[in-house]
Structure 1
């Protein structure tokens, strides 16, 4: 008896598009060049005002497996949800239209899904700025080895919040009721958090499966952190993710999430403190106090100078937080000075009197020496 070859995996890729005519060709070309899988690409034009849709239409006209769906502008989450409705493949992925996907990415992830029987798989990413690409150390750490697990075994993976370095079984996505939040930025974290929590098992692989372009002109959503709306959206999505984790009911997962995952991007906001307006500062303080109520950021996995800044924010000490951030910026990446006394090692900043600060906010941990 002769047996036929195993059919190639079929991957449906949702690509939201909004005013990215400079980048969308490279994205679609990378998807159509995927090796070892068949792709169906669903592009959702989210009310673009430039020539993005026309560029996508060229791929459609050339009879590539690309479908163009046009909608009014409702934002990234709504565009992803609309695109997912049109996917017919058994496997589901998401890609942002200014990024590219390496040629073997989906085949590698599909192979791991088949091998492990997992509900979804997540791989590592390379950050791409100009001509340089590199794998962020924190991503490399979370993807250090191949494994298929449930969230209780590796809760720190909740820090891998990205939508686009993952491949889902569509049956899991739909059966678990997963959707992206609409009308808010930073929609990745609530949904990926729910995916980790709802999966019977998910796979982690060390392979780089995505090239994440950081646009130098400053127009991407993640480069607008000094705006009040940006910070409001960040707190909203953090609340959503934390609520899901707390509802899951694991003390271990909740502790890791609150200490190591939830504060992970706060340093990007702390650097905005110098020069911020009153409303932004008040929103920063209220969010920090709410989300870390009863458990100070001194317990977090932030670097020492940002743990100190977090504590100053908790205390409402705006002038001191500004001074610390300005001093740190002046060091241009050099390590904050340290001093050792009879209580151990602490950071030593000339801009703040250590006698006015909780010692836990100054301490340097053994792993940071």
Structure 2
């Protein structure tokens, strides 16, 4: 019997967390689903744990492959998926028992292409819900999907720029349920991180939302996003991130041009590039960067003088920003790298203490 949902789990060296993740998936209050666990060349006991679970439950499908990265692993999972719908879960996260049941009910009732829920950030010592200032349920159809969902993925407009921390809150794939035909019929796939640095989720969702005829946002925090994993790729310093982000922006820009999207999307992308100075700055000062403070400030200066980033910052409007973000982006616009460094250090401390 064809499963209703295929849950794709890319796995790499997560022996500490994998059992928790798989337990939460197997406890879903839903009949007829499969879990596709892709072991992406793990060097710890992740594969052993995955196989032990698979031996006890035939809903788990095991793919064992050489390490190619999370994007390739997810793409392999999509190819293997038999479900009418596809969901993605990261192996250090977990989900509520009724998450997929509730999302599937919404998808099947109105033939929805993409259903999204909200999530909770888990820090080990405390948890914090990601707040979306929206009704309990928001539904969009046809052109409104691109106008409201796809455009948010491309970048913020007007008052939305006031919250840089929400820039990629819409872009995660693990908070969503997709109609499998939407992904497979349009050949939507994940781009390798070595090409674009990060935001492979957002790029995937930009493509998916363009082709989607319907989208529902369910303002319920069903997904638990584990933020205490110090080995996560997002916790490491990446010296190539500026050039990789350039390729990411090129991919988005070319897609918008190819699909003849409106000028509003171009403005949104420009705002995304401006707001990305926060992520690029935090990457520059991250603990994985062993260079001196002077070298880090110099690297920040180079980020701010990047031609594309500089052009976007020059066009970026500060009127919707709070006083803190006005100060931050004033330093960025004026290429005041040392002032930006001080603010980034303060932001990093706040991220670790109050989050």
Q: Into which bin does the TM-score normalised by the smaller protein fall? A: 0.7 to 0.9
Indicate the SS of the match to 1:36.
Answer: coil
Conserved in 1, the CA contact under 8 Å of 2:15 and 2:45? Answer: yes
Q: Which residue of 2 aligns with 1:120?
A: 114
User: Structure 1: which 5+ runs fail to align?
Assistant: 1-6, 334-369
Q: Compare CA radii of gyration and give the structure with the larger one.
A: 1
1:189 to 2:207 alignment: no
Q: In structure 2, how many angstroms separate the alpha carbons of the residues matched to 1:92 and 1:329?
A: 35
CA RMSD of aligned residues (A): 3.1
Which of 223, 248, 255 is the matching residue for 1:210?
Answer: 223
Q: In structure 1, how many angstroms separate the alpha carbons of the residues matched to 2:20 and 2:193?
A: 27
Conserved in 2, the CA contact under 8 Å of 1:40 and 1:66? Answer: yes
User: Structure 2: which 5+ runs fail to align?
Assistant: 154-167, 286-292
Indicate the SS of the match to 1:49.
Answer: coil
Which of 259, 266, 275 is the matching residue for 1:254?
Answer: 266
Which of 44, 55, 69 is the matching residue for 2:49?
Answer: 55
TM-score relative to the length of structure 2: 0.79
Which has the larger share of helix?
2
Summarize the alignment of residues 272-287 of structure 1 with structure 2, pairs less than 5 Å apart.
275=293, 277=296, 280-281=299-300, 284-287=303-306
Q: In structure 2, how many angstroms separate the alpha carbons of the residues matched to 1:112 and 1:264?
A: 33
1:172 to 2:182 alignment: yes
Q: Deviations over 1:255-307 (max 9, x none)?
A: 34433x555554244346663537743552255x4146256364266654344
CA 211–143 in structure 1, closer or farther in 2 if over 3 Å, else same: farther
Q: In structure 2, how many angstroms separate the alpha carbons of the residues matched to 1:229 and 1:142?
A: 36
Q: In structure 2, how many angstroms separate the alpha carbons of the residues matched to 1:85 and 1:221?
A: 24
Shift of 1:107: 1.2
Q: In structure 2, how many angstroms separate the alpha carbons of the residues matched to 1:206 and 1:8?
A: 29
TM-score relative to the length of structure 1: 0.76
Conserved in 1, the CA contact under 8 Å of 2:2 and 2:82? Answer: no
Indicate the SS of the match to 1:228.
Answer: coil
Q: In terms of mean alpha carbon deviation, does 75-84 or 196-205 score higher?
A: 196-205
